[in-house]
Amino acid sequence: MINKLKSIKKNLIEDNTLVVTLEAGSVTHWQKYIKDKGFNLGIDLFGESAPYKEVYDHFELTEEKITGLIQKKLRE
């Protein structure tokens, strides 16, 4: 059973795939899945308080910024 689960996890993300995670909270738990295949976007700080759109703007989690980062990575 353990070997089957390892095989499933290994095959979820192909070797040559760009993986981007987007999390409204901490992104540290995603790193074990993406390793060096992409990047994590999110908020790893505690204590920010404002309407969500203001918080997202503060952390540059806007549509324009996110798509720009992904397009840049795809051109590399």
How far is 28 from 32, CA to CA, in rounded Å?
8
3-state secondary structure of 24: coil
Q: Which domain holds residue 29?
A: 2-75
Q: Which domain CATH number covers 32? A: 3.40.50.920
Global confidence as pTM? 0.71
Number of structural domains in the chain: 1
Q: What is the pLDDT along the chain (76 residues), one digit of tens a residue?
A: 677 777 776 677 777 888 899 988 888 888 887 878 889 998 887 777 889 899 899 989 999 999 999 999 999 8
The answer to whether 31 and 23 are in contact (CB under 8 A) is no
